[in-house]
Each structure stands twice: as C-alpha cells, then as structure tokens.
C-alpha cells in the first residue's frame, strides 16, 4: 500500500430526527478518533438494516468501529426484560450492527467496539446485559454527572485491572489504567468466545477480545476516542486498531 493511502475505516451510525426529517448520524469524537488515533480515513455506515449490502461493504473496508450512542440495544435481542420507560432505542441500528459485527469478524475485518458498540458485540455473540447498573447492589456508579461540563463528564472516573498476557495488556503495556465512565448498562453474562481483558473495581467486565477472531477484535466499555491524543493508554488502543487496518489494506492490494 502506498505510504499516502490510509485504511478505510467504517463507523456505525445511529438514527435520529432533526425537525421533521430522519438522519443517520455519528458523534464527531468517533470520527476524530479514527483520524487522529487510528490514522484512518473514516466512512460513515448508515443504519440501513438488511438494505445494506454487507458483503460489498466488507469487501471495501479495512476496519470497522462500532460507536457509543444515546440509545441502548433493545432487550429482546438478548432475552432481557422490557426497558424502563423513557429508555432510548434505535431499532435500525440494532438491525445493522448486530449481524454486521459477526460477519465482519468472521471475514477477518479488524473491529473495535466502544461503549454501546462493546455491548453490541456481547449481544451479537449471545451474551446479555444489565440494563440499570445503578439499581443493582454491589456496583459502583458508572454514570456520568450530566450537570457537569463535558470535559468533566469524560474525565477519568475509575481504574480498570487489565488481564496479564491479554490483547489489551500487550498493546498498552499496562496492568491497570484509569478510564472514563459514561454508561448505565453493562455486561451481565459474557458471550461464549469472548475473553475478558479488563475489569472495573466492582468486577464488571469492561473490555474483552474475541478469541476466535482471525484479526483484531476488541471491545471496551469506556470512551478512548475522547481526546485520544492526550492519553497514551487510549491512544495505544487506537494505534493497535489502526495498525491492524493498515495490515489488512496492504494484504488486499497485493
């Protein structure tokens, strides 16, 4: 691959409405994470469900990132009880990301899942979620304080223990790290084939890798895309993802 070419990295979109019109959208911080952290060329993937030609898409991409979102995975996808009133969902995103995750990983496309994307990866492979961690005994507060400025909300909130010898340990060189925390839901039952990579002080799994993946496949509960260049730990995740995407791009032009 020419030194000037950047790997093409798809970013999952959410759906929302602005005025009377539906939009497919993604937060700028995820786009900048791909550009500044992974050194990639971002491509936004609309939430089209089965109208998306997955095979053609994956033939063109060198990596995929599944983002966080104001919405949660609908609980019927993992046999969960009905959501609390007022919970935001995005059925079009679920219909797009859940099958796309499995197909992308099977085909060896590097995958990085963040927050909702991390939870989607668990659900896609048969795991379940806690819907409201703050109502369960034994868990620390994982939600952000929404009355605070955004820099405070995305500030470091708690430590995670990183499993020695795992993917996250190898790419970061850290046995522990402090991370931000902006989530209500979390892993309940970890899906078969997912390997824990980091846990919060309360034992909650906050990172995993996909053991059967032929290429890079990592999910984290926190938001390493936030000002990624200012954190060596966050940046190490994106650099490893970007390197895997570049390696795939180079293989595909040989």
pLDDT in tens, 8-60: 999 999 999 999 999 999 999 999 999 999 999 999 999 999 999 999 999 99
pLDDT, tens digit (0-9, with 9 covering 90-100), for 198-242: 999 999 999 999 999 999 999 999 999 999 999 999 999 999 999
Burial class (CB in 10 A: 0-12, 13-18, 19+), 101: buried
Predicted confidence at residue 245, as pLDDT, reads 98
Taking residues 100-110, what's their average pLDDT?
98
**pLDDT surpasses 70 at 3:** no
Predicted confidence at residue 97, as pLDDT, reads 98
CATH of the domain at 167: 3.40.50.880
- The answer to whether residues 45 and 99 touch, using CB atoms and an 8 Å cutoff, is no
Tokens describing residue 251: 């293989």
In the residue annotation, 225 being an active-site residue is answered as yes
In the residue annotation, 115 being an active-site residue is answered as yes
Query: Within a domain: residue 3?
Result: no
Query: Within a domain: residue 1?
Result: no
Name the pLDDT band for 125 (thresholds 50, 70, 90): very high
Considering the chain, what percentage of its residues have pLDDT values greater than 90? 96
**What are residue 159's DSSP bridge partners?**
178
In the residue annotation, 13 being an active-site residue is answered as no
Taking residues 177-200, what's their average pLDDT?
98
Query: Within a domain: residue 81?
Result: yes
State the Cα–Cα distance between residues 120 and 127, nearest whole angstrom.
Answer: 9
Query: Within a domain: residue 110?
Result: yes
Query: Within a domain: residue 2?
Result: no
Predicted confidence at residue 4, as pLDDT, reads 63
Query: Within a domain: residue 100?
Result: yes
CA 224 to chain centre: 10
CA distances from 242 to 29, 57, 235, 250 (A): 16, 18, 10, 12
Taking residues 142-148, what's their average pLDDT?
97
Name the pLDDT band for 1 (thresholds 50, 70, 90): very low
State the Cα–Cα distance between residues 196 and 210, nearest whole angstrom.
Answer: 9
Specify the number of domains making up the chain.
1
Query: Within a domain: residue 80?
Result: yes
Tokens describing residue 119: 């939870």
From the candidates 120, 163, 206, 225, which is the catalytic residue? 225
- What range does the domain containing 149 cover? 8-253
From the candidates 115, 130, 197, 245, which is the catalytic residue? 115
Query: Within a domain: residue 213?
Result: yes
Mean pLDDT of the chain: 96
CA atoms within 13 A on the CB side of 128: 10
Predicted confidence at residue 252, as pLDDT, reads 78
């Amino acid at each position: 691959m020419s030194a000037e070419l950047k790997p093409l990295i798809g970013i999952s979109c959410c759906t929302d409405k602005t005025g009377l019109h539906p939009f497919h959208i993604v937060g700028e911080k995820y786009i900048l994470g791909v550009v500044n952290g992974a050194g990639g060329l971002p491509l936004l993937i609309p939430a089209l469900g089965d109208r998306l030609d997955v095979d053609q898409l994956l033939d063109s991409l060198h990596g995929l990132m599944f983002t966080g979102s104001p919405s949660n995975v609908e609980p019927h996808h993992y046999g969960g009880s009905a959501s609390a009133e007022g919970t935001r969902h995005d059925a079009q995103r679920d219909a797009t990301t859940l099958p796309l995750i499995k197909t992308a990983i099977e085909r060896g496309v590097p995958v990085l899942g963040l927050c909702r994307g991390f939870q989607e990866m668990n659900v896609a492979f048969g795991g379940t979620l806690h819907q409201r961690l703050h109502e369960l005994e034994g868990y620390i507060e994982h939600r952000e304080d929404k009355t605070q400025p955004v820099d405070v909300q995305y500030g470091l909130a708690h430590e995670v223990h990183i499993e020695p010898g795992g993917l996250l340990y190898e790419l970061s060189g850290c046995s522990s790290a402090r991370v931000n925390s902006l989530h209500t839901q979390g892993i309940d039952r970890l899906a078969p084939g997912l390997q824990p990579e980091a846990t919060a002080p309360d034992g909650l799994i906050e990172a995993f890798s996909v053991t059967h993946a032929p290429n890079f496949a990592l999910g984290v509960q926190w938001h390493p895309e936030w000002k990624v260049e200012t954190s060596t730990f966050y940046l190490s995740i994106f650099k490893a993802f970007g390197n895997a995407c570049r390696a795939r791009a180079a293989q595909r032009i040989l």
